[in-house]
Amino acid sequence: MLPVVTAIEMSKADKAAIEELRIGESRLMELAGSEAADIILKALEKNDNPEGCSFLVVCGKGNNGGDGFVVARHLLNRGATVDVVLLCPPETLKPVNREGYLILEAYRHHNEPLRIFHGIEEAIDSITETGYSALIDGILGTGLRITQAGEALPEPIASAITLLNTLRHNSDALIAALDVPSGLDATTGLSASPAVIADLTVTMAFLKTGFFFNEGPLHCGDLHTAEISIPRFIAEPVSTLLTDGEFAAEQFIMRNPAAAKHQNGKVLIIAGSISSTSSMIGAAMLAVKAALKTGAGYVCVSLPLTHAAAMHAFAPGAVVIGRDLDVIAEKARWADAVLIGCGLGRDSASVSFIADLLQRKEIAANKLVIDADALYALALPDLSSLSFGFSDAILTPHYGEMSRLSGFSVESIACDPLDTARTYAEKHRVNLLLKGYPTVIAAPSDPVLLNTTGTDALGTAGSGDILSGMIAALAAKGATTFNAGAAAAWFHGRAGDLAGTISSIVSAEDILEAIPSAIQEIFHIEE
C-alpha cells in the first residue's frame, strides 16, 4: 500500500534524506525536475519527440520554483522550446534555487530556445501570443499553509495562478502541477483563492493527504508520483496508507476445498425491524445477501419471525432466528463474526435491545461490526463507554452518524475526516470505518487506511447495509475487523464501479449483483 503524507511528514522525510542519508538537496531537486519532465512528456505522448513543443514554466520563490527551473532545463535538453516566468527577484532565491536559475541564465548564452521573464507583466504579451503544449506550475508546493477554504493569496501569486487557469481555459494546453497544484493545501485539501486546476500533478516521492480530501480531487487531475531517491524507510512509521487490490486480495481468505460450510465463516446478523407504521426488513435482507455473496459459509439472521418467509424467499441459504436474547447470544457464541444494527430501529425498546446485546460477552468478545441503529444507540451518553468492552469491533458510521458519535458537526468532520476518524478510534479504543470519498479506516493506533474505490454509485439506500454484510463475511472468514473493513470498502467500491455504466442509476440490488465480479477481478478470474 502506498504511503500518503502530510506536508509536515514530507518535510521531515526531505530533511531525513538530506541529513541522515546525506543526499544533497540539489540532487533531490534534480531528480524531482528530471522525473517530472519525463512524466509530463509521457503524458503528452511527446516522450520520443518533444521538438516543436512549447512549455511555459511559472516559478515561485520557494523550492517548488526550484523544481520548475530543473524541469525547464530538462525540457530544453530534450529539444523543446521553453518560456520561464520568475515571480520574485532572482537575488531573493535561496542558494539551491538560485543555482537552478543561474544554469538557465547560462543556457541563454548558447542560443537555446529559452526566454526568461521577470514577473507576469513583462511576460504577458509574449505568453498570450504563444501556443503552449503544457503550462507547468512551479508556483507553490508543500510550503503553502491555509487556514480556511477560499483564503486569498497575495500578489503576484494570485495573478500567476489566474493566468495559468485562464490560459488553460482558452487553449489546448494542459496544466501540469509540480508536487501540488498551487493554492491547494497539501495536508488538508482546502484550496485558497485562486488555486490551480491541474490536468495532471507530478508529486514528489509520496502522495499527499490533501489530494484526497475537500477540494483536492477537483484540483489534481491525474496523479503521478516521481521517484526522487527518498526511500520509503525514511518516511516510516507511515501514518496513512492507500488501500489497493493486492491488500484487498490478501484479506479475502479462499475456502479450503475440503472445508465444510461451518468452517468457511459463520456470520450472525442482528438486523431489520417492523413497527405498526414501518418495516426495515430490507436492511437485513441486503446485509444477509451481501455476506453470502462475499463468501460467508453460513449466515444466520435474527429478525422478527413474522418475516422469516420473506427472508427465505430472498436468501434461501440463510437461517432465521427470532429476537430471544438467549437464542441470539447462543448463536453469537457459534458465529465467527456478528453484525448488529442495520434497520433495528431507534425507539426505546430497540435501543434497550441493542444495549442488552452489546453487553453480552458472547457478542462483545466476538468480531463485531456495528452499524446504523446500533451506532445510534452507542452514541447515547449512557452507552458510549460500551466500546471499551469490545475485543475486536469496527464501527461503520457515515458523517451524520459520526457527528452523533463524536459531537462534532458534519461540516467539521467533512473538513478533516482523517483526523476525526483517527482521534475517535484512539480515544475509544475501537476500529472505525468512516464512510465517504475516500472512506477512512482507523484503528486505535496508526496507520490509518484510505480507500478510494467507488463513486456516487454507492450513494443509494441500502449501500451501507451491503458494506456491513461484506465486512462481517470477511471478518468471519478470518480477517481482523480492521482489515475486513478496509478490504470490504475496496470490494464494495469496485462493485459500485462495476454495477452500471451510469453511476446515477445504480441501486443496492445492482451493487449486490456486482460483488462477485468485484472479487473475481482481484484474482484475475475471467467471467
Ligand X SMILES: NC(=O)C1=CN([C@@H]2O[C@H](COP(=O)(O)OP(=O)(O)OC[C@H]3O[C@@H](n4cnc5c(N)ncnc54)[C@H](O)[C@@H]3O)[C@@H](O)[C@H]2O)[C@H](O)CC1
Question: Which residues would be at the binding site for ligand X (CB under 6 A)?
Answer: 14, 25, 28-29, 32, 60-64, 67, 140-146, 153-154, 178-180, 204
- The span of 137-145, 274-282, 444-452, 484-492 binding K ion (CB under 5 A) equals 137-145
Encoded amino acid at 125, one letter: D
The greatest distance separating any two alpha carbons of the chain, rounded to the nearest whole angstrom, comes to 88
Instruction: Please report how the helices 399-406 and 417-428 are oriented relative to each other, as an axis angle in degrees rounded to 10.
Output: 50
Q: How far is the CB of 101 from ligand X (least distance, A)?
A: 14
By C-beta, is 163 or 369 nearer to K ion? 163
Question: Annotated binding residue at 373?
Answer: no
Closer by beta carbon to ligand X, 120 or else 249: 120
Q: For residue 339, is it left (φ>0), alpha (ψ between -120 and 50) or beta?
A: beta
Task: Indicate the residue among 150 and 400 with the shorter CB distance to ligand X.
Answer: 150
- Measured CA to CA, the distance from residue 374 to residue 340 in angstroms comes to 6
Return the closest-CA partner of residue 314 out of 508, 520, 519.
Answer: 508
- 219 assigned binding-site residue: no
Residue 449, interface with K ion (CB under 5 A)?
no
Pick 64 or 396: Cβ nearer K ion: 64
Known binding residue 14? Answer is: no
According to the binding rule CB under 5 A, does residue 301 interact with K ion?
A: no
- Listing from the earlier edge strand, what are the strands of the sheet with 240-242? 207-208, 2-5, 240-242, 448-451, 439-442, 431-434, 392-395, 367-370, 337-340, 266-270, 298-302, 319-321
Other CB atoms closer than 10 Å to residue 217's CB: what's the count?
16
Question: Which residues, in sequence order, are bridge partners of residue 249?
Answer: none
Residue 177 binding target from ligand X, K ion, none, CB below 5 to 8 Å by type: K ion
Q: Residue 491 is placed in which grid cell? A: 470490494
SS (H, E, C) 172-240: CCEEEEECCCCCECCCCCCECECCCCCCEEEEECCEEHHHCCCCHHHHHCEEEEECCCCCHHHHCCCCE
203 binds K ion (CB under 5 A): no
Q: How far is the CB of 11 from ligand X (least distance, A)?
A: 6
Minimum CB separation from K ion for residue 82, in Å? 17
185 binds K ion (CB under 5 A): no
Question: CB-wise, 203 or 468, nearer to ligand X?
Answer: 203
Q: Kindly tell me the burial class for residue 503, based on how many C-beta atoms sit within 10 Å of its own C-beta (0-12, 13-18, 19 or more).
A: middle
Cα 277 to chain centroid, rounded: 39
CA distances 523 to 243, 252, 263, 270, 489, Å, are 16, 10, 22, 31, 17
The answer to whether 343 is annotated as binding is yes
User: 144 or 286, CB closer to ligand X?
Assistant: 144
Residue 83 counted as an annotated binding residue = no
The grid coordinates of residue 350 equal 430497540
Q: Does 182 bind K ion (CB under 5 A)?
A: yes
Q: Is 137 annotated as a binding residue?
A: yes
| Cβ at position 64, least distance to ligand X in Å | 3
Q: Would the annotation count 438 as a binding residue?
A: yes
Rounded to whole angstroms, the Cα distance separating 54 from 511 reads 46
Of 23 and 413, the one with the shorter C-beta distance to ligand X is 23
Among ligand X, K ion, none, what does residue 137 contact (CB within 5–8 Å per kind)? K ion
Q: How far is the CB of 45 from ligand X (least distance, A)?
A: 25
User: Shortest approach of ligand X to residue 230 CB, angstroms?
Assistant: 8
Number of residues that bind K ion (CB under 5 A): 5
Q: Is 436 annotated as a binding residue?
A: yes
- Cβ-based nearer residue to K ion, 207 or 378: 207
CB of 141 to K ion, least distance (A): 5
| Cell numbers given for 54 | 512549447
Smaller CB distance to ligand X: residue 175 or 335?
175
437 known member of a binding site: yes
146: partner contacted, choices K ion, ligand X, none (Cβ within 5-8 A by kind): ligand X
Q: Is 244 annotated as a binding residue?
A: no
Q: Tell me the one-letter amino acid at 195.
A: A
CA 56 vs. chain centroid, Å, equals 31
Q: How far is the CB of 66 from K ion (least distance, A)?
A: 11
Residue 107: closest CA among 141, 47, 153, 57: 57
464 is in an annotated binding site: yes
Please select the residue that binds K ion; options are 177, 226, 386, 470, rule is CB under 5 A: 177
Residue 365 marked ligand-binding: no
Q: How far apart, in whole angstroms, are the C-alpha atoms of residue 419 and residue 442?
A: 9
**Which residues in 284-304 are b (16+ Cβ under 10 Å) and which e?**
bbbbbbbbbbbbbbbbbbbbb
Report the distance separating Cα 225 and Cα 202, nearest Å: 6
Tell the smallest beta-carbon distance from residue 177 to ligand X (Å).
10
Q: Which is nearer to ligand X, 152 or 259 (CB)?
A: 152
Rule CB under 5 A: choose which of 35, 137, 362, 416 binds K ion.
137
Residue type, 173: A
182 binds, among ligand X, K ion, none (CB under 5 to 8 A by kind): K ion
Known binding-site positions for (6S)-NADPHX: 63-67, 179, 283, 343, 398, 465
Known binding-site positions for AMP: 435-439, 464
Q: Could you list the residues that contact K ion (CB under 5 A)?
A: 64, 137, 177-178, 182
